[in-house]
Structure 1
Amino acid sequence: MVLEHALLPVRPGLEQAFEAAFAEARELIAASPGFRRLSLSRCLERPGTYLLLVEWERLEDHTEGFRGSAAYQRWRELLHSFYDPFPTVEHFREVLTATPTRA
């Protein structure tokens, strides 16, 4: 499993419109081969910043599959105009996890 990470800086005053556009865009990515799940979270300290986490089966499912698809072109139309500056997207593999310990 590969975890895609992006901090999305949304231009001030467009947060509500961004969230509405993202609600539509998530269906595009969810239909992609290799997609597992995503979460979009809004920063409490900087309300114009969002954290996007997407789980993929393989790196290529994102970098070649989704980004090379017609769905990605629509994704770009829906979302890319909201960002300033354009976000950096990085990919991670899990190293360690933790769960609560019981006494």
Structure 2
Amino acid sequence: MTHPTSAPGRPRTAVAVAVAAVTPAVAGAVLLVAARVPVTADLLFLLVDVTVAVVYGTVAAVILSRRVHAVAWLVALAAVGGACPRWAAGGARGAPRTRARRRPRASP
């Protein structure tokens, strides 16, 4: 008599995690390119964030599709956490920055 040693995987959840990790990272990168931001050293963080989202999202999806384990959820959390800041930065960097106007000081 054989008993399964691991819990069955969740392929639908795996696909959802992969999409939730990769979509914001790629969208943030596209928004950043569309905004025509000048190339600076800060743009290297784009590469890091997109790589984290894609690689960790893929690893989490593979683990979740084969077996449900706490490590898969932690990796998925890291993937989505790496992707969301890039989405926010990609959308915000294209907007023109405005400075708050200072009130003139009253003369004594």
> What is the TM-score of this pair, normalised by structure 2?
0.32
Q: Which has the higher strand share?
A: 1
Asked which structure has the greater CA Rg, the reply is: 2
Q: Which has the higher helix share?
A: 2
